[in-house]
Structure 1
């Protein structure tokens, strides 16, 4: 789905969560969680949209209106070590969708 479709799904209350997923190389991809499935957000060319930062992602989603949670997700790398848990654990931290820019404060 593209950003316009994502906006419609959020407005309809169909999106449970939005994830900014950290990728190797420092970029992020945006996924929407709908019906317990993760749907990547694509650009105008139908390719998975990559964003350089959380702030860029917020700017991309600035027109989203609705009750949806945003999470920063950092997948764990699987380590094959004796005695380690065989299930990789990802980090999933809630962040505000429409937060202040870096350095700005609410007074």
Structure 2
């Protein structure tokens, strides 16, 4: 899904929430959740769109209707120390959709 498609779905009230996923290296990925399914945001070339920060995401979404917006930190325990086999849980923190500034 690209930014224009996401905006159309948001205006139509079809987006349940937006999740900004924090990845290692200071990279953020944006996904829209609709009817329980994740739809990652892609650029004009069909590649997953990387964002620099929460504010970068807010800037991109400033013309969108207000939606539930979360920061998601995925569990890195499997990559660290070679741990595996456990339940993988993410930390999901609600964010303000608009900046306070």
- Give the unaligned 5+ runs of structure 1: none
Residue 4 of structure 1 corresponds to which residue in structure 2?
4
SS at match of 2:86: coil
- C-alpha deviation, 1:78, in angstroms: 3.4
Q: Deviation string for 1:71-101 (max 9, x for gaps)?
A: 00000123428xxx8102110000011122x
Q: Distance in 1 between matches of 2:62 and 2:49?
A: 16
Residue 59 of structure 1 corresponds to which residue in structure 2?
59
Greater Rg by CA: 1
- Give the unaligned 5+ runs of structure 2: none
Report the TM-score when normalising by structure 2. 0.88
Q: Distance in 2 between matches of 1:69 and 1:77?
A: 25
Residue 28 of structure 1 corresponds to which residue in structure 2?
28
Q: Distance in 1 between matches of 2:13 and 2:27?
A: 28
Q: Deviation string for 1:39-89 (max 9, x for gaps)?
A: 0001111111100100001001111014x20000000123428xxx81021
Q: Which runs of 4+ in 1 moved over 6 A?
A: none
